[in-house]
Structure 1
């Protein structure tokens, strides 16, 4: 690749990052309804055609923000799991970290799980950050249990419902800890995953 081509690639990557960052900031301050190509073009000081050269519409922009979010979520859950006081505490720690992530980043969480995107879930083409986040739940269960992915799906589904219903005022936000206790207790008889070696941290 020539020096000119490399520079063009760097410039394109820089514009891409500016657009994604601007979309996330605008969504966090004014909601996703405020995120339009016109508003984004004003923020990043590029024309709307330049935006469309990177993203073919709002769904694609939301998807890019969501992809960032899954990378952050995976890292957040990994820290919680690895810092759990005992193998049996990993599931509770990961669940609590997930609910905290959703509550502290509502606009980002909407992009990841509520708004339409072109991201593929539970598919051969699932992007690595999505799989990495899901795997943090899987690792809370014993590696020899063939149901561990099923357990992870059920736990994630329950947490998502708790997060969305609480955020929407459908269930009292101050009851999350009790719900979490009930959810984790339901898996109390499931063998916990052995703690991973320190070098994996």
Structure 2
């Protein structure tokens, strides 16, 4: 690859990331309904055709934001798991997940609520998705043949807690009790 081609590819990657970051910032500030190609084009100071040269539309932008978020989530969960004391790994990872969802609601929506083309549990699953799920799997003993199943159940329960709490369908005040119940029941199984 020539130096010119490398530079163009680098500039394209930078534009791509600029668009993703702008979409995420706009969604966190005003919600996903405010994220339009027109507003993004204004925000990043590129024309709409330039945006469409990177993304087919808003769904593709949401997918790119979600993929970035999954990498961040995996790192966040890994740090929590590695910092946890003995017997506290599962609770630390669960707490970190709920904190992540509460602190980044628009990003969480892109990752788990809005439609995307990201697929879990298939040969095409991107590495950041596998890594985030792997942090839950790593909370369970390597010799437990149910560890992936346990990880799925924990993740599903946490997702329900995060979404129901965010939408105020369950009171935020009970989150720690729900977390203690979940971890207590799963840890003894």
> What interval of TM-score do these two structures reach, taking the shorter chain for normalisation?
over 0.9
Alignment of 1:68-79 (within 5 A): 68-79=68-79
Alignment match, 1:67: 67
Two-structure CA RMSD over aligned residues (Å): 0.7
Residues in 1 aligned to 2:100 and 2:43: alpha-carbon distance in whole angstroms:
27
Residues in 2 aligned to 1:90 and 1:72: alpha-carbon distance in whole angstroms:
19
Provide structure 1 residue ranges, at least 5 long, that are not aligned to the other structure.
191-201
Alignment match, 1:166: 165
Residues in 2 aligned to 1:148 and 1:59: alpha-carbon distance in whole angstroms:
33
Q: Is 2:27 the partner of 1:30?
A: no
Q: What TM-score do the two structures reach when normalised by structure 1? A: 0.92
Q: CA deviation at 1:188?
A: 2.5
Residues in 1 aligned to 2:4 and 2:75: alpha-carbon distance in whole angstroms:
35
Q: CA deviation at 1:94?
A: 0.3
Q: Is 2:93 the partner of 1:102?
A: no
Secondary structure of residue in 2 paired with 1:145: coil
Alignment match, 2:126: 127
Give per-residue Cα distances to partners, 1:113-168, cap 9 Å, x unaligned: 00011111111111000110000000010111111000000000000000000000
Residues in 1 aligned to 2:149 and 2:111: alpha-carbon distance in whole angstroms:
21
Aligned length: 189
Alignment match, 2:46: 46
Q: Is 2:177 the partner of 1:189?
A: no
Q: Following superposition, which runs of at least 4 residues in structure 1 exceed 6 angstroms of deviation?
A: none
Provide structure 2 residue ranges, at least 5 long, that are not aligned to the other structure.
none
Alignment match, 1:115: 114
Residues in 1 aligned to 2:78 and 2:108: alpha-carbon distance in whole angstroms:
18
